[in-house]
Structure 1
Amino acid sequence: MTLGLLVFHLLGFVLPALAMAVFMPWAGRWVMGSSSKSIRHRMWVHALIGIGVLVLGLWLHGQDGKMSTYIALVLVAATVEWLMQRAWINR
């Protein structure tokens, strides 16, 4: 495998996590309002947590692209956004 193909495969593996990392802070701001954390900070947190979920799914299932891993990615991203927004506190 060439270096270009390796980079292409790795990018394809982490792309769902990176897309969620860009989407979730804006969706959280739209649904729950502004947060004390910056959008950039929340994107970094989502990217790291999302890549961790994908790696864990790869390790558990032995292959990537399982729907259960993507469902876990969405649920974890929503939970992390809810925690960063501190949505349980009435404003």
Structure 2
Amino acid sequence: MSPLDAFWHLANLFAPAWGLAALLALAIKGLWWREAKSLAWRRLWGWGGVGGTVATIAALALLGRDGHMAGYALLLLGVALPQWYLLSFRR
């Protein structure tokens, strides 16, 4: 595997986490705009992406490979929890 192939392999591993974080941040800014007025979109996206990345790594460590439904549930939890925390407690 070339270095470019390795880069794309890792980028595609973490793309669902960052994509889901972006979609959830947009949904938060659109649906709960009053509550999220003081939060920047990039802050919601960044913390959600980091949480999803950690959850993906934890799923790989716990389950042994990518693609398990439990891993996707952990990914959803990893993306949603930091954004919920920011929306609820960090205004």
What do residues 12-58 of structure 1 show as CA deviations (whole Å, max 9, x unaligned)? Answer: 10011010121111111233224222111111111111100000000
1: CA distance, partners of 2:79 / 2:73: 10
For the aligned residue pairs, the C-alpha RMSD in angstroms reads 1.6
Are 1:10 and 2:20 an aligned pair? no
Say which of 80, 83, 86 aligns to 1:84: 86
Identify unmatched segments of 5+ residues in structure 2. Answer: none
Following superposition of structure 1 onto structure 2, how do residues 5-84 of structure 1 map, counting pairs within 5 Å? 5-34=5-34, 35=36, 36-84=38-86
SS in 1 for 2:17: helix
Identify unmatched segments of 5+ residues in structure 1. Answer: none
SS in 1 for 2:45: helix
- TM-score, length basis structure 1: 0.83
2: CA distance, partners of 1:76 / 1:31: 21
What do residues 37-84 of structure 1 show as CA deviations (whole Å, max 9, x unaligned)? Answer: 211111111111110000000011111121111112113322322221
Q: Percent identity?
A: 24
Work out the number of aligned pairs and report it. 87
SS in 1 for 2:49: helix
